[in-house]
Structure 1
Amino acid sequence: MKDFAFAIDAFTKKNDKIIIQPPVYHPFRIVPEALERRVVNNPLLLENGKYSIDFEGLKGIIAENDCKMLILCNPHNPVGRVWNEDEMIQLAEICYDNNILVVSDEIHSDLTLPGFRHRPFATVSEKAKENSITLMAPSKTFNIAGIVSSFAVIHNPEIRKQYLNYLAPRELDQATIYALAATEAAYNYGEEWLDQALAYIQKNIDFVEKYLKEYIPQINAVKSEATFLIWLDCRALNLTQQELVDLFVNKAKLALNDGTVFGKEGEGFMRLNVGTPLSNIEKALDNLRKALNS
């Protein structure tokens, strides 16, 4: 999160417009606004249970606004999409041709689930490579957020120089010795653990999908392609958002994320974290079923 705050500071100025694609990780909105930038929404499309980028909407936004940056979430949190090559090539083309810098947050990339493939945005085309900053970290992958370690990958030497020139005088260009050691150890020796973790996460996701279909068919789990998060479509319950939150939090005693935290496009949705023992998932869903039937 700090990295894209630095990128916003380094490459935009007060009142500049920044594009985000809600429903999306809420700091994408909160951080630019706190830095006195203007957020422009390019909401994702939801069709037949799958999210996609609204390219026509994006073109319309760009035609009407002088936007300086687009913050991409790849893989996407909370909807779980891993953007494919064709989608990213099209996005790169639009942004490059309109001089809009793409900041691609790829912190969940190592958590791409079996059957799907993550492609770094910067690798899909020359325009993507020359007009992007890729942000990554070991924190989500290896559950070491407390280490506070992250890094940026920038191919374009001019963009890289501008970013480093922002970081250096603020003494933000060096990690702690603990962060360096933990990051190196995680990437060098964590593969076996990660493979096991991904298999377990997929098992939990499969359980949630099966349980909902059998016992709570009014709630649909949007197909997850990455992350340990499931985007629950609860719109068929016909509850207001406040009633939905009350059902999950107060009646079922579950600490899920309110979908509207990720933008108004999250109304009728809740975000579930399945990076936990399966027994916790079973208990949580049993609580929810009982709360619905009470």
Structure 2
Amino acid sequence: MKLQLLKLITVLTVFTFSTTAKECDFSKPEITLPENYSSNLEILEIATRALSFSENGITYYTDLSELQKADRRKKKTKSSPAYLDAVGRIKTVLTNRQVSYCSGTLISAIPGQSSRVIKSAGHCFGNTETESKYDIKSITWETTTKSGLKIVKDLNIEELNLERDSAVLSFNGKIPFSTIKPALIETELAMHPSEFIRYDNQTTVISAGYSSDNLKGDNGKTLTYDDQIRAQEFINLNAYDRRKFGVQTVSFSGASGGALLVDVDLSYEDIDNPYKQVYYVGTTITLGYDTKYYKESSSSTSAGSASTNYDSYLGVDDRFLNELNK
């Protein structure tokens, strides 16, 4: 299709140049159009429309070549870091039998502590415009550990803030620390997530979630992650609200509620992390602003972009978290 489109554009360009050349001679030649000219124009129009379409006032591009160049995501495998086990897939079933999928992360505020608390995005469980909770029948969280152990937990909503697009959930019983190390909420430093990078040249920033694309996400069945995020790729969205920020990293629908993690040594600040847990610094909330949006086809339900927006960990109440994890 791309080759055919290129050929049609080439034909039109050459034809335009020929016409322009004649007009520069101040003559008005009679132009005989090729017999297939009209049909070629129709094909070109259809091909152009196929590269993008509008839906609910948003333009989506179906040519993913540009997005693929920016896509550094990897698929989670048995050789991937164990800290990714803390990021699971959330399935929400409504009373009307509708089903949606998001992501959610096992978190804790105390090093070495087992956890039963999941952090996710509020819009997975309610309407952020009307600030009304969905009529929910069930919520489950699922992850598979590096060792191959599949864990499925029924979740309860403990806190839902639809204004901030934030949700805290829990399940009965804790997952042993030896099975999954929760991502840590840092309570001693109140830093913007981008500031974690300055402490160590070996710092790794990771965006992880269950994107529902078919490029790498296997329609949401496989966790994908980008562990090559650099300091200059952080985006300041609002000078008056530093809790919302963006990062130049690819994500698709389904990654909502996912995690921005940082693997960093904070010993310079006398922060003790004896079990080498990663820090939880942000929750995936939306695709990026002021960017192109993509879908694999006009019938696809999964949208993606080359940048992603997050809600900072600073919005998590560590006292409430510790109470839930008693």
Normalised by the size of structure 1, how large is the TM-score?
Answer: 0.24
Which one has the largest radius of gyration?
2
Normalised by the size of structure 2, how large is the TM-score?
Answer: 0.22
Higher relative contact order (CA closer than 8 Å, sequence separation 6+): 2
